[in-house]
Structure 1
């Protein structure tokens, strides 16, 4: 008896969530299809029912990662621009936050990928800026805030000196609020 379409969608979503977690914590080259399927608790054979290639999975998982990171960061923030900014900057420290913002965590990896993957990343970045415009009411300021937030998180992920990392994030939290 074949699986119903809902089962297929649920299985694909499990794979995408597993990939979003692994790719944002490591990188495209460090993660294999087997790693993703193990994280999803599925067999490798199930992969090809949903994706053409690892690159196809990577492309689709970027949007899933962005949605999950957004939900994790916004959880409990209300409409406070300052709290949202601070939670974004501290996302690597949030409890139960397995998926990091793909814009920051994949920034150095994306430039080496094919145009379809870069298109998806560009769309996610555009959505990020649109969210910032909602707080700043100013497109230029939204781009500035987006660059500061993403850059700070991306840079903090490369530092192995925890004190220096925290100083960087603290300095960015002292920045003017998004609505100034």
Structure 2
């Protein structure tokens, strides 16, 4: 990796954490400069604008989550085991998120819903990717006879994601991971009894 690429990656990492903790609107260029240790010119050497940096930083944050998910799924073959692995990835996010500040998808979706349509679209793409992954796992599990044929893949994906994201929000709000632990226990029981 060239020095320029290393600098860009460092900016993305630091900006992703800053935006995830303070929000896009709550992060000024001065905040970004302070976090990265660079002047505006050094930042704009790699990004066209604050918007460009925000979009790329969001993609960087989502890629980190996807790396954790791929790693967790690597040796899992059975559909329920794969779903439990995804749930397990998110169980660590309440205490040890891959990007400081919690789930970047949740944070970005909430902040951008009415204020930043392009960032909102990116968050929606990220959510679609996650929904599609869970749907595919369930549909493959049904085809292999690992999951009951009457299970609704769309409904189950919504339940899993909404429950996990709610647990992250509550754990962050109260500063207590008990909410995530309760959800993990519930979702694992749900998978074992309903699928």
Tell whether 2:186 aligns with 1:146: no
Query: Which segment drifts farther, 33-42 or 11-20?
Result: 33-42
Residue of structure 1 in register with 2:116 after alignment: 114
Once residues 134 and 10 of structure 1 are traced to their aligned partners in structure 2, the CA distance between those partners, rounded to angstroms, is: 35
Residue of structure 2 in register with 1:90 after alignment: 92
Bigger Rg, structure 1 or 2: 2
Tell me how many residue pairs correspond in the alignment. Answer: 171
Q: So what's the TM-score if we normalise by structure 1?
A: 0.77
Give 1:98 shift. 3.4
Residue of structure 1 in register with 2:191 after alignment: 177
Once residues 59 and 120 of structure 1 are traced to their aligned partners in structure 2, the CA distance between those partners, rounded to angstroms, is: 8
Give 1:140 shift. 2.8
Selected match of 1:57 from 49, 53, 57: 53
Query: Which segment drifts farther, 35-44 or 146-155?
Result: 35-44
Give 1:74 shift. 5.0
Cα deviation, 1:63-83, whole Å, max 9, x if unaligned, reads 111111232455456434323
Q: Which has the higher helix share?
A: 2
Tell whether 2:62 aligns with 1:66: yes
Once residues 54 and 174 of structure 2 are traced to their aligned partners in structure 1, the CA distance between those partners, rounded to angstroms, is: 25
Structure 2 unaligned regions, length at least 5:
140-152
Give 1:122 shift. 1.1
